[in-house]
Structure 1
Amino acid sequence: MNSDERRQKIIDAAITVLLDKGVAASRMNDFVEASGLSKGGVYHHFDSKEDLLIGVLNSFLENNLDRLHLSINPRESAYTQLKDILHNHEELMLELGKYNQLFLDFFSQAAYLPRFRELMRQHYQLFHGTLTELVSMGIASGEFEKDTDPDAIASGLMGIFDGIGIALLIVPEKIAFPRYAIDSALALVRGIRKI
């Protein structure tokens, strides 16, 4: 096994442990044991639990960011692009839905891990910025109501998915994921459209 393969093996083992124990209860020794590598082998790649969590998050992002089509076309309808962002990622949302507990755990533990929180903040801002830009574009083109606050709508859209994720954890039998999140987000976007 080369170094990259060992690193990925550690990340994969960490995901298994994190899904089983949660972020707060997981220890470096758990990750070492699950990986089947030596303690030195794990620490060679990750100096701390926070480093390993950053590695896990980066792995998710690297494996999935290329599947997110977040580029903005100024010649297309902002509403259509927002609808496409929501509908085109339904399969990805379904895939990542099995990691819902882990992502929620990431949110709650980020307060205690500054470098990890900063990485999450950067990616949040990337998505938020794209949504804000699309809403602003829709306002400028006359598609959306002129008194719309683009930042509020972007935050609301992201909040819908976060909230549905929490509900999915608590009452999964009541949540048709990702349909409820997509339908709720589209309802918010339709609410700012000029008729």
Structure 2
Amino acid sequence: MTPRPDVSAERKDQILNTAEDVFAERGFDEARMDDIAERSGLSKGAIYWYFKKKDDIIAALLDRVFRRNIESMRAEAARAGSVLDRLAAMGEQTSRDYESMSRLMPIALEFYAVALRQRKVRKHLATMYDEILAIIVPLIEEGIRNGELDDGVDPRQAATLLLGIYEGLGLVWAISPKTVDWKTLGPQAAQMLCDGLKRRGQGKKK
């Protein structure tokens, strides 16, 4: 007999795509697993086979978003150009990523709430942050070595600051969307940090 193809990845994507629509329309609290099953065309048992509860679906949705952002940051970090240019480009790309996930922001807020309640989810989020820092820290270290950045800069602290700026802007945007214009404020935030690092380095050389 011909072995049956493994459709696990396809089914998970089907469930997540449907859940994203349902959560966006009904809100996390009002959405039910039954709603996701009905909309996806799968049985409720099939939904529970892959995701035991709604919190697991939220974690998977945000993981997918983080993965896209992490891969785009890796691509920017690996391209040719100065460290300052690459840091600014990463900031601009992160802004575009945030803007593209506008429908998911209410879900993102719920994800952070779940992370506070559940150690497993909190640990998963911390792992995502560590992956982002693992991209930014070596880039800042490179900038220090080649003289672009001040040699007194702590690479991890600077990377954490950059991460915190965008996470903070994302939180403000989720609560008050009109306050944050990603097309202007996002790139400006990265540029301000880069200019600050560069000015301190130049000041020491005078």
1:104-143 equivalence runs, <5 A: 104-143=109-148
1:60 aligned onto 2:58: no
Matched residues in 1 for 2:177 and 2:80: separation? 40
Which has a greater percent of helix?
Answer: 2
CA contact (8 A) 2:15 2:47 kept: yes
1:172 aligned onto 2:157: no
1:97-119 Cα offsets, whole Å, 9 max, x none, are 34233223222221223333232
Matched residues in 1 for 2:44 and 2:147: separation? 59
Query: Which residue number in structure 1 is paired with residue 150 of structure 2?
Result: 145
CA contact (8 A) 1:22 1:105 kept: no
Matched residues in 2 for 1:190 and 1:102: separation? 34
Unaligned stretches of 5+ residues in structure 1: none
Matched residues in 2 for 1:3 and 1:168: separation? 34
CA contact (8 A) 1:72 1:81 kept: yes
What is the identity percentage for the equivalent residue pairs of Structure 1 and Structure 2?
Answer: 25
Matched residues in 2 for 1:98 and 1:177: separation? 15
TM-score computed with the length of structure 2 as normaliser: 0.77
SS at match of 2:74: coil
Query: Which residue number in structure 1 is paired with residue 4 of structure 2?
Result: none
Instruction: Please say which of residues 17-26 and 5-14 is displaced more in the overlay.
Output: 17-26
TM-score computed with the length of structure 1 as normaliser: 0.80
Bigger Cα Rg: 2
Query: Which residue number in structure 2 is paired with residue 159 of structure 1?
Result: 164
Unaligned stretches of 5+ residues in structure 2: 1-6
Distance 1:109 1:21, change over 3 A: farther
Amino acid at match of 1:83: A
Q: Aligned Cα RMSD in Å? A: 2.9
1:132-183 Cα offsets, whole Å, 9 max, x none, are 2212221222211222122221111111111211222233223211421220
Matched residues in 1 for 2:17 and 2:79: separation? 39
Deviation of the 1:4 alpha carbon? 4.1
Matched residues in 2 for 1:110 and 1:51: separation? 11
Query: Which residue number in structure 2 is paired with residue 94 of structure 1?
Result: 99
Distance 1:26 1:154, change over 3 A: farther
Deviation of the 1:35 alpha carbon? 3.0
Number of corresponding residues: 194
1:83 aligned onto 2:83: no
